[in-house]
Amino acid sequence: MAGNTPDFPDRLRAAGLRPTRQRVALARVLFEGGHRHVTAESLHAEVKATRMPVSLATVYNSLNQFRDAGLLREVVVAPGRSYFDTNTGHHHHFFVENDGELHDFPSEKVTIAGLPTPPKGTRLSRVDVIVRVRR
Amino acid sequence: MAGNTPDFPDRLRAAGLRPTRQRVALARVLFEGGHRHVTAESLHAEVKATRMPVSLATVYNSLNQFRDAGLLREVVVAPGRSYFDTNTGHHHHFFVENDGELHDFPSEKVTIAGLPTPPKGTRLSRVDVIVRVRR
DNA sequence: CAAGAAGATTAGAACTATTCTAATCCTTGC
DNA sequence: GCAAGGATTAGAATAGTTCTAATCTTCTTG
């Protein structure tokens, strides 16, 4: 975390995205601390708090672009509730149904055996495991 | 499947729901064949084709009530894409990302080991496994 | 470093999925 | 058969997300 100076413009360029003011500001909020789960609304509020003008449409555009570029992973937990996760490595999620909280847990110790092979003509894209809990 | 005559009014009563015309018609479409995956829209279209007048609002209400009563299970695969599954037993899903198709697969052979214990103050509700594939 | 082209951003409209509202209707218990 | 309360309805309302067309930035080239 310390040790690699994160040059956000360069990271965006490396992902094939122009480092515009808005995208750099969004990347800073998303990636400069530890891993995070955000929604479009929550990220919009955070970035606006840094006094960088950004529209909600741009937040949606950027989140989709970041996801397509592999910088983020999208997690859908409930109808109309989509989170973007800065942790793109292998891991799974706890979802607390009452309050909508999402937590990572590492996949290291988790093993899934006996999954069937994908239907003919398809290739595996990802396996999502969501452990739903209730208070 | 054959062998138990499905008395839909009784099944609804057993679930704590009044057997109204609409709910009986919906239950018939949902439960009289094999297991199914429906959306509110697709179910609405199907039931209207049986010449029973039903509003979309009632389809949503009924799906939510059936789910709350344990007659259906809801599977959220993508933002704004929610399926209701008549198979409420233990099983997992294939989701074909290109065309939005959802398929069951039995959980018998699938074993998941090493899941962490739920956070303090929560109890396990369910574990969802979605295998995402692409054409 | 100026200029033009390509791409990005914006406000607001539009869209999709779902829920709400208030009036009417149906099912149930007596 | 008749109230009484639950269910249904059309349509309005809401939430989340995408689209549109005009404006503004960034990048490339000279």
* CATH number of the domain where residue A69 is located: 1.10.10.10
Q: Is residue B1 part of a domain?
A: no
The nucleotide closest to A22 (CA, C1' atoms): C9
The nucleotide closest to B59 (CA, C1' atoms): D8
Q: What is the pLDDT of residues B96-112, one digit of tens each?
A: 988 888 999 887 888 99
Q: Is residue B99 part of a domain?
A: yes
Interface contact B72, partner A, CB < 8 A: no
Q: Is residue B45 part of a domain?
A: yes
- Residue with CA nearest C20 C1'? B57
Q: Is residue A2 part of a domain?
A: no
Q: Is residue A44 part of a domain?
A: yes
Full residue range of the structural domain in which residue B22 is found: 8-133
Residue B96: how many CB atoms within 10 A of its CB?
20
Q: What is the CA A111 to C1' D20 distance in angstroms?
A: 47
Q: What is the CA B48 to C1' C11 distance in angstroms?
A: 40
What pLDDT is attached to residue B2?
47
The percent of residues in chain B predicted with pLDDT above 70, rounded, is 96
Structure tokens at B1: 């499947």
Q: Is residue A15 part of a domain?
A: yes
Q: Is residue B3 part of a domain?
A: no
d(CA B73, CA B71): 7
Structure tokens at B116: 């962490």
**Cα dihedral A106, A100, B101, A64 sign:** negative
Query: Confidence band (pLDDT; 50, 70, 90) for A108?
Result: confident
CB A73 under 7 Å to nucleic chain C:
no
Q: What is the pLDDT of residues A53-93, one digit of tens each?
A: 999 999 999 999 999 999 999 999 988 889 999 999 999 99
CB B87 within 8 A of CB B104: yes
| B119 contacts in chain A (CB < 8 Å) | 94, 96, 103, 133
Q: Convert B55-77 to b/e letters by CB count within 10 Å (16 or more is b).
A: eeebbeebbebbeeeebbbebbb
| Residue A1 predicted with pLDDT over 90 | no
Q: Is A76 helix (H, G, I), strand (E, B) or coil?
A: strand
- Facing residues of A38 across strands? A84
Overall size of chain B counted in residues:
135
Please tell me the total count of domains within chain B: 1
Q: Is residue A3 part of a domain?
A: no
